[in-house]
Amino acid sequence: MLNLALQGGDSLWGSRFIGYAWNSLGLATVASLIAVGLAVVLSYGVRMHDTGFARVASRVASMGYAIPGSVVAVGILIPFTWLDNALNTWFNHHYGYIIGLVFSGSAFILLYAYVVRFWPFRSMRSKPA
């Protein structure tokens, strides 16, 4: 096995690897910008309107760290797979065409999962003395 690894190497390492790395970096950058933008909006909303709804929304938004990644993945895949199946059924019924996996087969669901999992929101409101 060592001889094969030294002679042939890994087929993914090389020029294709750089492309894969850039794709991963791009998705991570977009997901982090979305997560930070949403955290700023939610934090500002909690700061300006400290209501029960805002407090519950901030608690729900910060659950991504508390829930294991596999549970988040299944919780995201189930509704988006149902939505893909519903869209395919509707398009097949009305147009006789199956459009495929619109949500769960695209980068959209990966970005959504990244944002849900790594949204580090923590309310910074001060309590009155």
Q: By C-alpha distance, which of 22, 2, 20, 3 is closest to 12?
A: 20
DSSP string, 54-75: HHHHHHHHGGGTTS-HHHHHHH
Residue 21 maps to a domain: yes
Residue 129 maps to a domain: no
Residue 80: count of CB within 10 angstroms of its CB: 19
What's the confidence (pLDDT) of residue 129?
A: 41
Mean pLDDT within 30-52: 85
Q: Is the pLDDT of residue 2 over 70?
A: no
Its pTM stands at 0.69
- pLDDT category of residue 122 using cuts at 50, 70 and 90: low
What's the confidence (pLDDT) of residue 115?
A: 86
Residue 38 maps to a domain: yes
Residue 83 maps to a domain: yes
Residue 90 maps to a domain: yes
| Number of domains comprising the chain | 1
Whole domain around residue 101: which residue ranges? 14-118
Residue 124 maps to a domain: no
Any long-range contacts for 69-72 (C-beta under 8 Å, 24+ apart)? 69/117, 72/113, 72/116, 72/117
